[in-house]
Every structure is written in structure tokens, then in C-alpha cells.
Amino acid sequence: MENLYIVAVILGIVEGLTEFIPVSSTGHMILVGSLLGFEGDKAATFEVFIQLGAILAVLVLYRDRFLNLILNLFADGIRFDDRGFTIWHVAIAMAPACILGFFFHKSIKGLFSDQSVVIGLVLGGLLMLAATWWRGPRRPVDDLERINYRQALFVGLAQCLSLWPGFSRSGATISGGMLAGMTSAVAAEFSFIVAVPMMTVATGYDMLKSYQFLDASDLPFFALGFVVSFVVAWAAIVWFLKLLQRIGLAPFAYYRFLVALLYSVLVIL
């Protein structure tokens, strides 16, 4: 049981550290879980559950933004113009991946292997480099309030790529935002905000399908992973936003290539 708690701490750290930086939390969880020998239905359920800790970190950090989105919805009623940042920008960015995930959930889960992750790490890294090297508009969107629906949809379409394990939801959405004409900081902030309802829906759907693999004795183990994920995700978001403005996406892409290479050489081959 003690070893199980050590696994909970390790995976909580991995989830919190990688969920919102563009290196693929799912990919790292699969690879680390494989190395630790922590696999199977209960392991998959645990990995889904501790994502809720990372989601809570974003919700707390951006609580004022989320509160304004809700209050503005009730104050302004249902309006479909894209003046200012509204809940409709978030809904539009969520829609494509939600639709694909719903209809192809079983097929997507079938992709969850270390070989698929390695492929996703490489392809996602190439997308990030493309976003870094692409020359966007002379005056990119530098404020969430200036995002339009077309840009939100483009981010949503890019997010569909993250259904392939290892591609990275944050990497796909940040890259999509930059390619749509946002600064890296605004693309990252939009990515974090979209992540909360997106991951809540995905996590809730997965939990409904897998809760039968749990029993009361799992509660301490799951709770520990949740808390560790929350604390580490909070620190990682603050750190990443500062680092992104200094070094950009490219170093994260090179890191992905290195992880893919090392894992392929040391484990797969």
C-alpha cells in the first residue's frame, strides 16, 4: 500500500506539471505509468480522476474571469455577436473536440499506447514549431477581449488533434491560437480557460464509464493524487506563463522530440 501512495505522488506531480504545459499530460501519464508498472482499469480511472485536481487549479487561478463569464451571460442574455470575451467563445472552441470525442470515444481510447504517444509527441512538436516560425499578423490579438469567433473555432479545430494521445491539448490549442493571430500569452490564457469545461466534460464522461472499478479503499490513494495534482498544476501554470513569454514554444517542442527519442530507444526498441 505504501508503494501505491508513492505512485500517487509521482503521478500527481506528473499530471499537475504537464497538464497545462505543451508536452502532453496524457502521454507522460501513459509513459510513466508504464515504467512504474501501474496499468489496467483502476490505473486508467486514477489518471482520469486526478485531472480534476489540475482543473480546480485553473478554476481557482482564473476565478474572476469565470465569474465574469457567468455574470455577463445572465446580464446580457443570449447574444451571438463577438464583442468582448464571452462564454460563446469558449463553447465554440469546445464544440469540435466534444463532438468527435463523443462519437469516436472507443476508437480514441484504443489509441492509448506508448507507441501512439511517441508519434503524438513528435507530431505535436512539429505543430508547435510551425506556430513559432509562422509570421502572423503585424498586430496579433494581445487581449482576450479581442478574440473573435473565427479564431475561437480555429482553436477548437486544433484541439481535435489532441484526441490523439501524446499530441497535447495545451500544445494544440496554444499553437492553434498563435496560428489564428493571437500572441502566445493570450493563446495560453484562452487554452487554460477552455480546458476547464472541456476537461470536466471529458473527465466526467470517463468516470461514468469506469467508476465500477473503484471501491472505498481507493479513496485515500485517489485523494492524495488529487491534492498533489492541484498544488503542482497551480505552480506550473504561473511558472509556464512567465517562461512562455521569455523562451516561446520551441524549447518545449525540442523536449518532446527528446522524450520520444529516449523512450523509443530505451523502452520500445
pLDDT digits (tens, 9 = 90+) for 35-58: 888 888 778 888 888 988 999 999
For helices 41-49 and 25-36, the axis angle rounded to 10 degrees is: 140
State the average pLDDT over residues 116-145. 90
Assess contact for 51 and 203: CB atoms under 8 A: yes
State the average pLDDT over residues 67-71. 85
State the average pLDDT over residues 135-161. 90
Please indicate whether residue 234 or residue 74 has the higher confidence score (pLDDT): 234
- Helix, strand, or coil (residue 62): coil
State the average pLDDT over residues 112-116. 83
**pLDDT at residue 211, rounded to an integer:** 67
Please indicate whether residue 202 or residue 28 has the higher confidence score (pLDDT): 28
238 C-beta neighbours (distance < 10 Å), count: 12
Give the separation between CA 181 and CA 108, rounded to whole angstroms: 30
Number of domains in the chain: 1
> Residue 211 is placed in which grid cell?
467508476
**pLDDT at residue 124, rounded to an integer:** 94
**pLDDT at residue 48, rounded to an integer:** 83
**pLDDT at residue 95, rounded to an integer:** 94
Taking CA 155 as the corner, what is the angle to CA 153 and CA 157, rounded to the nearest 5 degrees? 70
Give the separation between CA 169 and CA 224, rounded to whole angstroms: 24
Q: Distance from CA of residue 3 to its chain's centroid? A: 28
Question: Domain limits at 61?
Answer: 1-268
Give the pLDDT band of residue 201 (cuts 50, 70, 90): confident
User: Of the candidates 175, 190, 156, which has an alpha carbon nearest to the alpha carbon of residue 23?
Assistant: 175
User: Of the candidates 162, 58, 120, which has an alpha carbon nearest to the alpha carbon of residue 263?
Assistant: 120
Q: 71-94, pLDDT tens digit by residue?
A: 877 665 555 666 778 888 999 999
Poorest-pLDDT segment among 4-18, 103-117, 232-246: 103-117
**pLDDT at residue 1, rounded to an integer:** 46
